[in-house]
Amino acid sequence: MTEEPDVAAVAAWTQPPAGRLIGRGHPAGDFLDAWDWLVVAEETGFLRVEAGLPDRVKNPRGQLFGGFTPTYVDLIAVRAGAERGQAGPRRWLATTNMRIDYFEPIVGPRFVLESRLEKKRGRTNFVSTRFFQGEDLAVFALTTMREVALDRPLGDA
């Protein structure tokens, strides 16, 4: 049995307002206030956004809690790795591996994320993501994602 994705989440992701990464209605995106992120630059395989740091994702020192960092990475890396306007059946990018290195704390209130498709081979996408606090490289992540057809049952490759 194939489970259909949440219609509101798909619409939020596929039909964002101009200059925004995502609209309201995506559960993870709404948690991070991603509807408020500004797309600064975008080209095939590259995306740069200015993001905010909601209080709910801060640790007691007022910094981005490390456990929420992968959610930021997933939201931007999937967009940099996706081929928009591609003919044929729609596909889903499923994260299969993620490595994150932390150099400086993210304290907000705004910071910059850059994500770049480094390599695509078949259905596998390898994406790098950088977080900048001011001019400083604060976080570096590498993500491997696999394209999965939406008409396949969950759990099938």
pLDDT for residue 152: 67
| Class in CATH terms, 7-149 | alpha beta
- Terminal CA-CA length for the chain: 15
pLDDT for residue 14: 77
DSSP three-state, residue 4: coil
Q: Which residue in the block uniquely carries the two structure tokens 């907000």?
A: 108
Mean pLDDT, the chain, as a whole number? 88
Q: Is the pLDDT of residue 64 over 60?
A: yes
Residue ranges covered by each domain of the chain = 7-149
Pairing of strands 124-133, 91-102: unpaired
* Distance, CA of 47 to chain centre: 10
Summarised one tens digit per residue, pLDDT across range 11-33 is: 777 788 999 989 999 899 999 99
Across 57-71, 82-96, 114-128, 129-143, least confident range: 82-96
Backbone angles phi, psi at 108, to 5 degrees: 65, -160
